[in-house]
Amino acid sequence: MISRWNDSDAEKFAGDPLKMRVYTSQLIGQEEDLVLHGGGNTSVKGDVKDLFGETVEVLFVKGSGWDLASIEAEGFAPVRLDVLKKMAELESLSDSDMVKGQRAAMTDSSAPNPSVEAILHAIIPSKFVDHTHADAVVTVTNTLDGENHIRKIYGDNILIVPYVKAGFILAKKVYELTKDIDWNSLEGIVLLNHGIFTFDDDARKSYEKMIELVTKAENYLEEHGAHKSIAVEERMLPEFPHLDVARLRKAVSYAAETAMITRVLRGKEERGFANLPNVSEIAARGPLTPDHVFRAKHIPMIMTGNTENDVNKFAERYREYFDRNADGALTCLDPAPRWAVWRGQGIAVMGKNLTDVNIVTGIAKHTIRAIQWGEAIGGWKALEDSEIFEIEYWELEQAKLKKGGAPPPFQGKIALITGAASGIGKACAETLSAQGAVVAGLDINPEIENNIENGLALGIACDVTDQKAVRKAVERTIEEFGGLDILVSNAGTFPSSMTIEEQDAGAWNKSIDLNLNSHRSLLQECIPYLKYGIDPAVVIIGSKNVPAPGPGASAYSVAKAGLTQLARVAALELGQFGIRVNIVHPNMVFDTGIWTQEVLETRAKHYGVTVEEYKTSNLLKTEVTSKNVAELVVSMAGPAFAKTTGAQIPIDGGNERVV
């Protein structure tokens, strides 16, 4: 492992211990082989002035919820050092009371909760303390002869601490082991099955001790052939199993009782691991570190080919694991897997949102490598499931469950929207995303791929009149997120006003092609995946011109009328699969691409009114915006319309011709 220390960068923070702490913490956080997604913690001891102007010695320790890779000064909680040291002397202390005590000892009430390992940081006398879950170190300890391997690597310069749960128990254990120790004789502390600590009065020395000690473990693994043990699948990548992934996602979502996103990792290492002859046995021995259980469960699911059965069996075994270890009034977490070994394909990861998916992806990638390393030096052996359970059902985590609010209403839902770069499509993407959905947006404007914002998790440049391009876009959505729940069929155009007598055949065909035919193609490509959606819903963007066409708009009105009829037939056909199909009929939504100034002036002139009068020419004398339409669309995709299909709802401020 290479040190990321840079003298010119570090000079900026000389003389400011907290800023230097931020700098070296970020160096640690940027190295995934040291910490993953919020793992690890760091601290620095320093002085602050209290309310009375008196100097107080505090421990600035990483706060809960912060990630070392991006932590800033405000991410460190200042806790009175003398209080933390006194807490270490207590005979017993529940972790809940420990958290309360640490919170009460903070000199800044607006700071985040201190790390649960704050007491341990406090009793280490050095100014700077670094703690990581370094893959190489934890892998070595997660073997049949882990402690002896550690002694061979480090000799007597490391304090080895048998595994105990993080929090007060761990701090108390280290306190007892180090009462009479000469701290200067130690280069660090290795917590078996957990991680490693380094420390020094100099920030650089503490950081580079971490790099040095982890490098020794990496070298030890390499010397014993561990790095050569990683299985790699060189055969051609198989065809992506789009429908199978959608089936998997649906089964996992049902087990979790909430919509889940699913992604399949099909790199050479993931496929190599999945194809190991003994993968079902070695993968089920436990996680790389206990902390991973919060995100990835205690073991992965092993897929055999019968998706629903595999998920049901995993859920059943998880409940058995809970019943076997539960003691007291614990709330069983959802029994759905968070990652799975899929022979021939690789590794599948699942999460309630994209953040969860990305975190589990990192955990799975590091775990499959560590398992193979561990096998190479004597055999992978994680903690007993009772010890993992103790972490997964930690009183602090159970307390979080009770305090946690309701998730966003569309969390885990996957939506596809056409015409998503502007107007109604863009507004729908923003509104769905704000309520928790992941959104794939299609648009003919290629900039949609370079500017992933405005609610889009995935932007795809696509001519929706090209069915092959539409198929590829839908398949890419499945590859990214695992399924499809919501389809907003929105792309369209408003041709220039033209009577039937003077109608141009090219303009007519273009309108029919985009405003009608493309929606049929899109629906056809999406239906197979919507059948495996979670409460699937299709919302078609129609037009007021369906119930009340206007002169000069035959190409548009006929296409939208045909689209409405298509939606009605779709509602009849798809209801048996639980797929709802509804239509909204907007009118005069002027912040969309089809309403150019030229079109506005032409329509206003046709009716003999000003542009402003034309904009509010409805019963409510109000202007209808894209956001207004989006809010209705999102409502129709949600539980409020769970029992409605085939409906046509106007959003036009009230049109006397429709009413």
Could you read off the pLDDT of 331-366 as tens digits, one per residue? Answer: 899 999 999 999 999 999 999 999 999 999 999 999
Answer whether 224's CB lies under 8 Å from 377's CB. Answer: yes
Could you read off the pLDDT of 625-648 as tens digits, one per residue? Answer: 999 999 999 999 999 999 999 999
Give pLDDT, residue 453: 67
Please identify which residue in the block is written with the tokens 């499509």: 425
Please identify which residue in the block is written with the tokens 């923003």: 430
143-151 average pLDDT score: 96
Would you mind telling me the total number of residues written for the chain in this entry? 659
What stretch of H or E contains 11? helix 7-11
Q: How confident is the model at residue 315 (pLDDT cuts 50, 70, 90)?
A: very high
The two beta strands, 41-49 and 128-132, are: antiparallel
Could you read off the pLDDT of 233-253 as tens digits, one per residue? Answer: 999 999 999 999 999 999 999
| Sheet with strand 261-265: strands edge to edge | 261-265, 346-351, 339-342, 301-303
Higher pLDDT, 225 or 592: 225
| Sheet with strand 438-443: strands edge to edge | 458-461, 438-443, 414-418, 486-489, 537-541, 580-586, 648-651
Cβ neighbours, 10 Å, residue 496 = 14
One of 1.10.8.190, 3.40.50.720, 3.90.550.60, 2.40.30.10 is the CATH number of 414-594+625-651, namely 3.40.50.720
CA atoms within 13 A on the CB side of 414: 32
Answer whether 490's CB lies under 8 Å from 538's CB. Answer: no
Q: Return the closest-CA partner of residue 352 out of 296, 284, 428, 417.
A: 296
- Beta-carbon contacts of 576 under 8 Å, excluding residues fewer than 6 positions away, are none
542-559 average pLDDT score: 94
Give pLDDT, residue 365: 97
Q: Which residues make up the CATH 3.40.225.10 domain(s) of the chain? A: 7-223, 242-396
Q: Which residues make up the CATH 3.40.50.720 domain(s) of the chain? A: 414-594+625-651
Answer whether 340's CB lies under 8 Å from 300's CB. Answer: yes
* Assigned superfamily of 242-396: Class II aldolase/adducin N-terminal domain (3.40.225.10)
Give pLDDT, residue 286: 94
Could you read off the pLDDT of 148-175 as tens digits, one per residue? Answer: 999 999 999 999 999 999 999 999 999 9
Percent of residues, the chain, with pLDDT higher than 70:
99
Please identify which residue in the block is written with the tokens 């790389």: 288
Q: Which of 217-231, 379-393, 597-611 has the least mean pLDDT? A: 597-611
DSSP, residue by residue, 99-138 = HHHHHHTBS-TTSPPBPTTHHHHHHS-SSEEEEE--HHHH
Cβ neighbours, 10 Å, residue 481 = 28
Active-site positions? Answer: 556
Give pLDDT, residue 186: 95
Could you read off the pLDDT of 110-127 as tens digits, one per residue? Answer: 999 999 999 999 999 999
21-30 average pLDDT score: 97
Please identify which residue in the block is written with the tokens 């409502």: 635
Tell me: pLDDT of 409 over 70.
yes
Could you read off the pLDDT of 463-519 as tens digits, one per residue? Answer: 999 999 999 999 999 999 999 999 999 999 988 889 999 999 999 999 999 999 999
Tell me: pLDDT of 20 over 80.
yes
d(CA 482, CA 476): 9
Higher pLDDT, 546 or 599: 546
Give me the chain's average pLDDT, please: 94
DSSP, residue by residue, 561-591 = HHHHHHHHHHHHHHGGGT-EEEEEEE--BTT
- Beta-carbon contacts of 222 under 8 Å, excluding residues fewer than 6 positions away, are none
Give pLDDT, residue 524: 98
Give pLDDT, residue 406: 86
Amino acid at 153: I
d(CA 317, CA 310): 11
Answer whether 88's CB lies under 8 Å from 171's CB. Answer: yes
Give pLDDT, residue 401: 67
Tell me: pLDDT of 328 over 80.
no
What stretch of H or E contains 636? helix 626-637
Q: How confident is the model at residue 71 (pLDDT cuts 50, 70, 90)?
A: very high
Cβ neighbours, 10 Å, residue 493 = 16
d(CA 48, CA 349): 45
Q: Dihedral, CA atoms, 391, 392, 395, 397, nearest 10 degrees?
A: 120
- Measured N-to-C along each axis, helices 395-403 and 95-104 cross at an angle, to the nearest 10 degrees, of 70
HEC string of 243-282? Answer: HHHHHHHHHHHHHHCCCCEEEEECCHHHHHHHCCCCHHHH
What stretch of H or E contains 581? strand 580-586
Strands (E), 151-218: 158-161, 188-191, 195-200
Predicted TM-score of the model (pTM): 0.93
65-72 average pLDDT score: 94
Across 321-347, b (16+ Cβ under 10 Å) vs e yields bbeebeeeeeeebebbbbbbbbeebbb
36-50 average pLDDT score: 91
Give pLDDT, residue 592: 79
Answer whether 368's CB lies under 8 Å from 274's CB. Answer: no
The two beta strands, 580-586 and 301-303, are: unpaired
- Beta-carbon contacts of 243 under 8 Å, excluding residues fewer than 6 positions away, are 528, 529, 532
One of 3.40.225.10, 3.40.718.10, 3.20.20.150, 3.90.45.10 is the CATH number of 7-223, namely 3.40.225.10
Answer whether 82's CB lies under 8 Å from 102's CB. Answer: no
Give pLDDT, residue 434: 96
